Structure 1
Amino acid sequence: MNQALNLREYPTTDQCIGGVTQFDDTQPWIYQIDNPYLHGVYAPTTQELTESQLPVTGELPADLDGAYFRNGPNPLHQPGNRYHPFDGDGMVHGVYFRDGEVAYRNRYVDTVAIAGERERGSSISPGVMGPFDYSVSEFGIKDTSNTDLFCYAGGLMTLWYNAGHPYRLDPNTLETQSYFELEGRNHRRLSAHSKVDWATGELLFFDYGDEPPYMNYGVADPSGKLKHEVAIDLSGPRLPHDIGFSQNYTILHDLPFFHDPEVLRKHKMRVLTFHRDIPTRFGLIPRHGQGSDVRWFDCEPCYILHVSNCWEEGDWVIMDGCRSVNPMPSAHNGEGELSHMLAYMRLEANNYRWRFNVRTGEVREGDIDDLNTEFNKTNPLFHGIKSRYAYHQRIPLLEEGGHTLRFTGLVKYDNETGSRQEWDYGKGVYGSEAVFAPRKGADRTRAEDDGYVITLVTDSQSWESHTLVFEASDIAQGPIARVQMPHRVPAGFHATWAPGSAIFTS
């Protein structure tokens, strides 16, 4: 029986604050929690469309050439247990800009997990929150490939939050081709946020796990061949989410937010704890260095999801990103069995800068701004060299109505001065991670913010979705073009920009 979800079956997000719904009589072991991440702007869209010549309000720039891709959770079947957004099947949405016209297509990432569920016609995974009753389902937790994505070695790579197996999609059709294999590597697993250096075409990657070595770091060439991989010595399992890179160094993260391996072994579940008495460590490794070459710098305890950019200035290596000093907020009364998941998804972070002196070992760190923002992006042409601007999503705190993770506005930061420009998406309108799209043919000789910022928004009042195009130099003036999407696009995770030269074949 296909239990595909339908938006009409669910009330809006604001009407869903905890509580248990009825049992599914067709599968007595399955129960459902009234989960806000299955409602409103989060409700999945199971349609896969291909549309061209989308309606545009405003004027599309003639030098906007390429595609905005966005990944996110989109469960094909009714979840069996306490649904977490990490459990949602990956779906990629592609918005293609070429010759003044816009096309759209969206496709599921055809993972091994979703193939098994299509065959059965229902969910077969306990999900990351369990319960882990393997007498009923031996499938295990789904690697949904729903988190990040980027173009590399001629394909579109999709990845999962917990260091999963990446998949290769055709960037033009979005059809899943296979696992994304790095030639010469003996396993596939990659973290959610490996990085492509546009200047060299190299892939800088890491992965992590529950057994030694707890982290590996490596480099692959532009064609997808492994060049270098080394083990990184850590004192136990960790949950790093991102890395940064400058021209000569890669910055690895050893963060004091991790689980107890004994609890994992005994109960098959990760219980995360933020250890406020343990410093955060950032490790600088030469791009092709050995594990023994890592130089660790102790910083104030924090968690970091996403790096904006890194670069070198003399003896200093600078890293800009978003810092959280409360990665596991207290659960809120009245949220029942979902309280810890809802608290974890309520993201508290702000724009921050770290500076590491490779000669003296000195660390300098501090706020750039205190506004609650995350999902930060910069001009990819300037990754690894000095940059000034970053484009963040404004996130309301719980006391501001942020019961769930939602993006209510676009923020452009000048990280040299700490000043910011903002564009509010509007009441009940929620955005996606924004990307910087360089003008066609642009290079590093152009001004850093000479290009466009693109995001995708959904209006919870009309259920319409639009792709917005901003002049990056002045986002406060609002979008210069607004593209009507052919259906509602659910809220998601990460986005990327691919220039037309990398994806269009004719």
Structure 2
Amino acid sequence: MPIQSPENAPFPTTTKCLGAFSQLEDAPQWIYEIDNPYLHGVYAPTNNIDTHATNLEIEGEIPSDMYGAYLRNGPNPRQKPSSSYHPFDGDGLVQGLYFKDGQATYRSSQIQTAALLREQREHQAIWPGVMGTFDFTLPDFPIKDTSNTDIIWHNGRLITLWYNAGIPYTLDPITLENLGPLESPSQLTRKMSAHSRVDWQTGEMFFFDFGDTPPYMTYGVLGADGKLKHECPIDLPAPRLPHEITFTSNHAILHDHPLFHDTHVLRHHGRRIIRFHRDMPTRFGLIPRLGSQVTWFECEPCYVLHTSNAWEEGDWVIIDGCRSTNPIPNADPEEGALSHMLAYMRLEANNYRWRLNLCTGEVREGPIDDLNSEFNKSNQLFHGVKTRYAYHQKIPLRHEGGHTLRFTGLIKYDNETGTRQEWDYGPGVFGSETPFVPKKGADRSSAEDDGYLTTFVTDTRSWRSSCLIFDARDITSGPLATVRLPHRIPYGFHGWWARGEDIYR
């Protein structure tokens, strides 16, 4: 298959992408020595890691009641990898766009993890990546803890988190100055999963840790003051790879999916070989917010990366999220040595609902829609109580050109009716996870979708990045405003809306 130009093939169809892209002036030059699509195109790392820019070019008008910051985390490797590169290996880089009085200010900041600081001192990569081989002689983790997956606000600080459950790092919410690791409030662990949850009503933060030695999971709650409020070990049959947690008014919800690795192979061969066990159920565990007794519900085998929300209706707990029945698609041998990584990153999922009966143990489940979508968000003011709307990213499948993970459009779901609105980002334009933005001063008396949506996009035809702002009630009308960023930003993972009422105290 011929190599195409970046204008019409920003994501190459094979890993043989050397020479496929024109030189990007802001990218480290070593990327052109490596044949890996997750180091090229919109994934190419940038040398612009500590930026502060005002007087940004704006098309349209930023709503005056948009008050706070859109923050997004993602990979930006600073050293040439010592082993096969996976996007989970890239050093965390936070982008922030701050809104106040109809104006916008941009900042970015590289997360100064312990691993990054050591590698900078030695001018070389030291930790291997998630594709191995794992090195158990290294401190903290046998692979690099990059803190590149998610970012949340809690107790006056931003906290960055990592896919494999790592050491959380903190940033100043206004300046993005690095404040160092979060002092572990836990008695059992110093790690947190990729996705912790914050209840905006109580200020509580729900977190969990997981690992290869007992206890295989730990559940905890931080109070609004940042102090440990509750913690307990969770009994699991063996190591697992859960990704997130959510909550209702009375419970937290833990995940136990039939996707995990062979610890014997990991310990003796330094490789994490992950399998999806189709003969095992997926389990959701309901635990009282400050309790220790877990009630497990068995569901059809699947993997769940992200839920939109969960709530209680009488005896029932309802969970809306995205469900994957094929979390490890078949690798394409034509894609060479990286074929398994590329297959694993091709996310196949659809909008789905689970209903769990607290009294009878009954489970009812089924799809809301069959469109391939993920990285779903909802109005965080309503987390824990009933919601109707969720905001997803559209993801092309392999046969649709989805050779790497990419977001080609924004979807607004009405989960009560299963209907959706869509906005296509346009040819060669790829977006980011899109959090809901409540209007300044909004609370639960406001309509659930009375607010805005923000997303970062990069146009591969011009290598220009922007922030799009939509009216959440009607995304089909297109962006209310487009804010041009001062430079190209690399593709990222998860985003967060930090309310101005919280960060501008």
Distance 1:69 1:42 in 2: 18
Contact 1:33-1:82 at 8 Å conserved across structures: no
Distance 2:99 2:211 in 1: 39
Distance 2:249 2:198 in 1: 12
Contact 1:392-1:411 at 8 Å conserved across structures: yes
1:201 to 203, 219, 227: 203
Alignment match, 1:45 = 46
Q: Any residues of structure 2 matched to 1:313-462 within 5 Å, and which?
A: 313-462=313-462
Alignment match, 1:3 = none
1:18 to 12, 15, 21: 15
**Alignment gaps of 5+ in structure 2:** 20-30
TM-score, normalisation: structure 2:
0.93
- Correspondence 1:250 to 2:252: yes
Distance 1:187 1:15, change over 3 A: closer
Counterpart amino acid of residue 394 in structure 2: R
Q: Post-superposition shift, 1:455? A: 0.5
Alignment match, 1:91 = 93
Distance 1:11 1:126, change over 3 A: farther
Alignment match, 2:23 = none
Q: Post-superposition shift, 1:185? A: 3.7
Distance 2:186 2:209 in 1: 16
Alignment match, 1:466 = 466
Distance 1:267 1:138, change over 3 A: farther
Distance 2:282 2:44 in 1: 36
- String of CA shifts for 1:14-59, please: whole Å, max 9, x gaps: 446224979xxxxxxx996510000000001121211012111001
1:110 to 112, 118, 130: 112
Alignment match, 1:35 = 36
**Alignment gaps of 5+ in structure 1:** 1-7, 23-29
Q: Post-superposition shift, 1:13? A: 3.6
Counterpart amino acid of residue 214 in structure 2: P
Contact 1:11-1:39 at 8 Å conserved across structures: no
Distance 2:403 2:252 in 1: 36
Q: Post-superposition shift, 1:141? A: 1.2
Alignment match, 1:229 = 231
Distance 1:278 1:138 in 2: 32
Contact 2:248-2:311 at 8 Å conserved across structures: yes
Distance 1:468 1:433 in 2: 12
Distance 1:11 1:370, change over 3 A: closer
Q: Post-superposition shift, 1:436? A: 0.3
Q: Post-superposition shift, 1:78? A: 1.7
Contact 2:132-2:272 at 8 Å conserved across structures: no
Contact 1:308-1:377 at 8 Å conserved across structures: yes
Distance 1:51 1:21, change over 3 A: closer
Q: Post-superposition shift, 1:490? A: 1.0
- Between the two proteins, the alignment pairs up a number of residues equal to 489
Contact 1:19-1:33 at 8 Å conserved across structures: no
Distance 1:386 1:444, change over 3 A: same
Structure 2 counterpart SS, 1:303:
coil
Distance 1:369 1:188 in 2: 39
- String of CA shifts for 1:342-383, please: whole Å, max 9, x gaps: 000000000000000001110000000000000000000000
Alignment match, 1:270 = 272
Structure 1 counterpart SS, 2:115:
helix
Q: Post-superposition shift, 1:140? A: 3.6
Q: Any residues of structure 2 matched to 1:97-246 within 5 Å, and which?
A: 97-132=99-134, 140-183=142-185, 185=187, 187-246=189-248
Distance 1:46 1:219, change over 3 A: same
Distance 2:7 2:493 in 1: 21
Alignment match, 1:311 = 311
Contact 1:13-1:36 at 8 Å conserved across structures: no
The CA RMSD measured in Å over matched residues stands at 2.2
Q: Post-superposition shift, 1:187? A: 3.4
Distance 1:481 1:270, change over 3 A: same
Alignment match, 2:290 = 288
Contact 1:17-1:34 at 8 Å conserved across structures: no
Structure 2 counterpart SS, 1:339:
helix
Distance 2:140 2:450 in 1: 52
Structure 1 counterpart SS, 2:334:
coil
Distance 1:31 1:424 in 2: 31
Alignment match, 2:25 = none
- String of CA shifts for 1:150-196, please: whole Å, max 9, x gaps: 00011000000000000011111111111112446453200011110
- String of CA shifts for 1:127-151, please: whole Å, max 9, x gaps: 1112457899998411000001100
Counterpart amino acid of residue 339 in structure 1: S
Distance 1:62 1:136 in 2: 50
Distance 1:127 1:9, change over 3 A: farther
Distance 1:392 1:167 in 2: 27
TM-score, normalisation: structure 1:
0.93
Distance 2:141 2:396 in 1: 37
Distance 1:115 1:385, change over 3 A: same
